[in-house]
Amino acid sequence: MKNIIFLAPPAAGKGTLSEMLQEKYGYGHISTGDLLREEVKKGTDLGKEAEGLMKAGKYVPDELILKLIKNRIVKPDCDNGYILDGFPRTIVQAEKYDELLKELNKDLGVVIYIEIDKEMAIKRACSRITCPKCGRIFNKYSNEMKPKKEGICDDCGEKLIQRADDSEETFNKRFDEYIEKTMPLYDYYNEKGVLRKIKAYESKYDTFDEAVKVIEE
């Protein structure tokens, strides 16, 4: 099974698509944010170093992130493929990740760019509601994504909230900034011949079908 890197603007549906692909194929899911939080919680040397940097308002260096990824992608649940979420974010990170893959004799796989119209992304983001307890995301205007009971999480019964950064003004800035910063990575992987584009449809199942075609091509 092909390893996957997602390049996806905000509200493109990367999280939902990742969950659907995990369920179908048994992918390991690697979120750099989750890895950092886990190391901090465990109190490991890496975790302590990362926590000290974050508390000081400094970025966690690429070398530390790569150590976490290296430790994670050799675990058994990644043997048949994994989804890399939130990394790489820069060309330098992409190049260092390439070096790591060579060291471990692992394949890059496929880079999937989820293309979404900005107006659709804004509509999705500004109607998105989240469970503060379990983190599940709903959408109050989508038949597929809205909760069974209005304003209540299907999984844990918690009252759903709207994130402060899901206002139209804030979202516009996030979206434009993402596109600007991601284009160098888009070009980098396109030149390598590993980039594939899929479309973010209104229905998550249509987007999922496109992703499946890419993975199984």
Per-residue model confidence (pLDDT) at position 42: 86
- Looking at residue 139, its pLDDT comes to 84
For residue 43, being part of any structural domain is answered with no
Closest CA to 1 of 75, 77, 82, 88: 82
* Domain around 15: 4-27+80-216
Task: List, by residue number, the catalytic residues.
Answer: 14, 89, 128, 163, 174
Residue 208 lies in a domain: yes
Q: Is residue 68 part of a domain?
A: no
- The one-digit pLDDT tens for each residue of the chain (217 residues) are 799 999 998 889 898 899 999 999 999 999 888 888 888 888 888 888 888 877 777 778 889 899 999 999 999 999 889 999 889 988 999 999 999 999 999 999 999 999 998 888 888 888 889 899 998 888 887 788 889 999 999 999 999 988 766 678 888 888 888 888 888 999 999 999 999 999 999 899 999 999 999 999 8
**Does 134 reside within a domain?**
yes
* 52 lies in some domain: no
47, part of any domain:
no
What does each C-alpha distance from 80 to 19, 109, 121 come to in angstroms? 16, 11, 32
Phi-psi region of 196 (alpha: psi -120 to 50; beta: other; left: phi over 0): beta
Q: How much is the pTM?
A: 0.79
Total number of domains in the chain = 1
Note whether residue 121 is domain-resident.
Answer: yes
CATH of the domain at 162: 3.40.50.300
How far apart, in whole angstroms, are the C-alpha atoms of residue 162 and residue 27? Answer: 29
Q: Examine residue 117 and state whether it is found in any structural domain, yes or no.
A: yes
Closest by CA position to 114, among listed 16, 196, 33, 21 = 196
What per-residue confidence (pLDDT) applies to 91? 92
pLDDT of residue 164: 67
Q: How far apart are CA 207 and CA 90, in angstroms?
A: 26
